[in-house]
Chain A
Amino acid sequence: MTLDRLFCIMLSVVALAITPSAFAQIKIGALYPLSGQVAKSGEDTVNAIKLAVEIVNGQYPDMKIPLASTAGLPNLGGAKIELIAADHQGNPEIGAAEAERLITQQKVVALIGAFHSSVAATSSQVAERLGVPYVSGESEATPLTERGFKWFFRTTPSSQTQARDFFTFLRDVNKTANPKVQTIALVHENTLWGQEFAKSVEGFMKDFPEFKLAIDIAYQQGTADVTSEVQKLSALKPDVIFHASYDAEAILFARTYKQYNVSPRGFMAIGAAFGSSAFRNALGGDANFFFVREHWSRDLAKTNPQVAQIAKLYRERYGKDMDGTPARAFTATIVLADAINRAGSTDPGKIRAALAATDLQPSQLIMPWDGVKFDAKGQNQGTKGIFVQTLDGSPRLVWPIDQADAKMVWPRPTWR
């Protein structure tokens, strides 16, 4: 071996050693409420993102989730993803400022966020202006994907799509229920998320003429007392109540319903609050029979073993059970990592193009969806909803009936 050949070999060894380290860490920014009113949900959600990053960075050969079987991102020389989480406190202005900081100072290649739709609205504006991809896994307000943004992608269904599930569910129930459900009351908090849900429900009323909206009650998030709200419902006695509430008010409403014996045939909630572990711990037996329109359930493990694997890892790492919002944030993170890998580059334009070309199959997900594929507005077209009912203290998948894990209880028994 001549000296210059040896030199060549050494050079290529050095080059090999350098190449991955050039990409060694690919920074992704996560914007979540880590203090303030919904800090608990923010924490749970960021934990799921951490788990997704761990699965991408590590090797899990028995999973079909993209990038699980390989270490890091193979198209970027096995580069690892580094997660930088920022706290927006549920405040849209802080969200925008943190997005700017993550992009300009931390040099993240993409953002993920933001739990609150109101914060996703402002922070994605910053990403749009600076030309950085933004993936939202759980901000549901419909207008987010109606703004014609180029850099915004949403894996979760919008609140409009979710509202339709409430009506198809009731139409299904009415096939066998006697008496049939006719009147609906709508109770929602008055930030963007609740308002949008209310608007969508009102919009679907004409497509489902057999139902009548008895009342629409908007309340202020962070209220000290809900007696007046519940008294209105007590006077009207609607057949079902649709709810859009965050954790503290969900507990307060449920207790006040019980106090005044407001007992419709079903309570149906959007968002996880009425089925969360905090809700079940706070209410014990009274937490039973609430329906939650969910995105995800551990019962999906029956048809998708990956669900059980991920749920188990989550429980091991963070000491509590995974629920729908963390599962969606997990999925959004995987979608983003898969796009960065297919882009084979940290160039924002290439990542955006790869995101737009995303085509994941149901078997690659932990969601009950038909897949992940974005339309021109950046909205995932493959989403599907389920209804979960808390039975004997644990949430069980009860609808659609062909995927159900337990038989739903309808109408709900009166308060004990």
Chain B
Amino acid sequence: MTYELSGPLLAQLALSGLGMGFLFALIAIGLTLIYGVMGVVNFAHGEFLMLSMYATYIAYATWHIDPLVTLPFVAAGMFLFGVMVYRLLIRRVIAGSMYSQIFATFGLMVFMQAAAQFIWGADYYAVRQSWLSGVLILGGLTLPVPQIASVVGASLSTALLYWFVFRTGTGRSLRAAAQDRQAAATLGIDVDRMYALAWGIGSACVGVAGSLLANFYPIFPRVGVLFVLLAYVAVALGGFGSIHGALLAGVCIGILQVIAGFFFDAQLKYIPVYLLYLVVVLLYPRGFAGRS
């Protein structure tokens, strides 16, 4: 089957790819930040996404607040949730073996999925007619607003995060704690506080992604799994712990899956993504921008 390759078609495909890609990137950045600072993989990251989607939906369904308005509140709420998870759970296992860390976050994933199904049931919910729905028609181009919003929202959040991590004193302390925990502590940095901060910021990132995603994706207890799997690939592809690596990899994945799905078989659209991952991991085991 051949298709006429018009400019608008390519532009539309690229924008959809970018829209999804920036979302994958934002989810991956949260994941990689937590990993980079304290070396813990948060297996419940997808469930954090699910929780923020439900939070967005509940605000919409109960008080008719648009997801765009809810977004900062969800991000703040998720920040607190992340700090709470760190204080109540992660801090207790951080000194233990790697297995106990894995099981702690894996257990949290199972718990959150089951709790969501218990509280909200297995039904599918969706935000209807949000401000960020519909399309923008520019000449021959059809640009879905939710995807434009994902690109804008995710790049703004990433810029903000960059500024914070690389341009502020607290950001410097955060990086110091990530590089050498003991040296940072000797220099008077409160490492425990930095860890809590990493969890907070990582969760806030996924909170923003969840609010943006809730504009167009149905919400159900297992929704996080679909997205976080690709975010894990983005983290590994970009190099564990690297923020700009995750950003680049997330965007690449988004574009690749749309292009592959269109030009090849739609059911095989994730295969090029995983192939790219294999190639990069084999040739550059540290990913695009990984550190040793």
Contact = CB atoms under 8 A, between A and B. Distances in A.
Interface string B6-44: 000100110011001000000000000000000000000
B257 interface: yes
B128 A39 contact: no
Interface in A21-77: 35-40, 42-43
A223 B218 CA distance: 12
A260 B126 contact: no
Contacts of B216: 252, 255
A3 interface: no
A98 to B, nearest CB: 18
A283 interface: yes
Given A40-B122, A283-B126, A284-B129, A225 B257 contact: yes
A227 B218 contact: no
Given A235-B9, A281-B125, A228 B269 contact: yes
Given A247-B124, A282-B124, A219 B259 contact: no
A251 B126 CA distance: 9
Contacts of A227: 12-13, 16-17, 20, 258, 261
A231 interface: yes
Nearest to B2: A235
Interface residues of A, dominant DSSP: helix
A303 to B, nearest CB: 31
Nearest to B216: A255
A345 interface: no
B159 interface: no
B217 A261 contact: no
Contacts of B226: 222-224
A219 B268 CA distance: 8
A229 interface: yes
Interface string B260-275: 1110011111100000
Interface string B126-145: 10110000110000001010
Counting chain A CB atoms within 10 Å of each CB, the highest count among B124, B217, B225 belongs to B124
Contact of A218 (B225, B262, B267): B267
Nearest to B127: A282
Nearest to B144: A259
A80 to B, nearest CB: 29
B87 interface: no
Given A222-B226, A224-B226, A248-B220, A231 B129 contact: no
A97 interface: no
Contacts of A219: 261, 266-267, 269
A54 B75 CA distance: 47
Nearest to B268: A220
A222 B259 CA distance: 18
Contacts of B269: 219-220, 223, 228
Given A228-B259, A231-B13, A259-B142, A278 B124 contact: yes
Contact of A229 (B4, B126, B227, B261): B261
A228 B124 contact: no
Contacts of B20: 224-225, 227
A97 to B, nearest CB: 19
Nearest to A248: B218
A279 B223 CA distance: 16
Interface in B168-208: none
A232 interface: yes
A228 B262 contact: yes
A326 to B, nearest CB: 14
A339 B269 CA distance: 47
B26 to A, nearest CB: 14
Contacts of B126: 251, 281-283
B132 to A, nearest CB: 12
B128 A282 contact: yes
A190 B13 contact: no
Counting chain A CB atoms within 10 Å of each CB, the highest count among B12, B217, B218 belongs to B218
B222 A224 contact: no
A217 interface: yes
B230 interface: yes
A215 interface: yes
A179 to B, nearest CB: 23
A259 B135 contact: yes
A43 B142 contact: no
Given A224-B227, A278-B123, A235 B128 contact: no
Contact of A235 (B4, B220, B221): B4
Counting chain B CB atoms within 10 Å of each CB, the highest count among A36, A219, A259 belongs to A259
Interface string B100-119: 00000000000000100100
Contacts of B283: none
A246 to B, nearest CB: 10
Contacts of A215: 1
A40 B124 contact: yes
Contact of A220 (B12, B134, B267): B267
Interface in B249-292: 257-262, 265-270
A104 to B, nearest CB: 27
B99 interface: no
Contacts of A224: 20, 217, 226-227, 230, 257
Nearest to A229: B266
A259 B12 CA distance: 11
Interface in A169-215: 190, 215
A217 B135 contact: no
9 contacts: A220-B270, A223-B226, A225-B16, A227-B13, A228-B13, A235-B9, A247-B218, A260-B12, A282-B124
Given A39-B122, A231-B262, A283-B126, 9 more contacts: A35-B122, A40-B220, A220-B267, A224-B20, A228-B261, A228-B269, A251-B126, A252-B218, A282-B218
Interface of B: 1, 3-4, 9, 12-13, 16-17, 20, 114, 117, 121-126, 128-129, 134-135, 142, 144, 216-218, 220-223, 225-227, 230, 257-262, 265-270
9 smallest beta-carbon distances between A and B, as pairs: A228-B261, A282-B126, A39-B122, A40-B122, A227-B16, A228-B262, A278-B124, A259-B144, A218-B267
Interface of A: 35-40, 42-43, 190, 215, 217-220, 222-225, 227-229, 231-232, 235, 247-248, 251-252, 255, 259-261, 278-279, 281-284
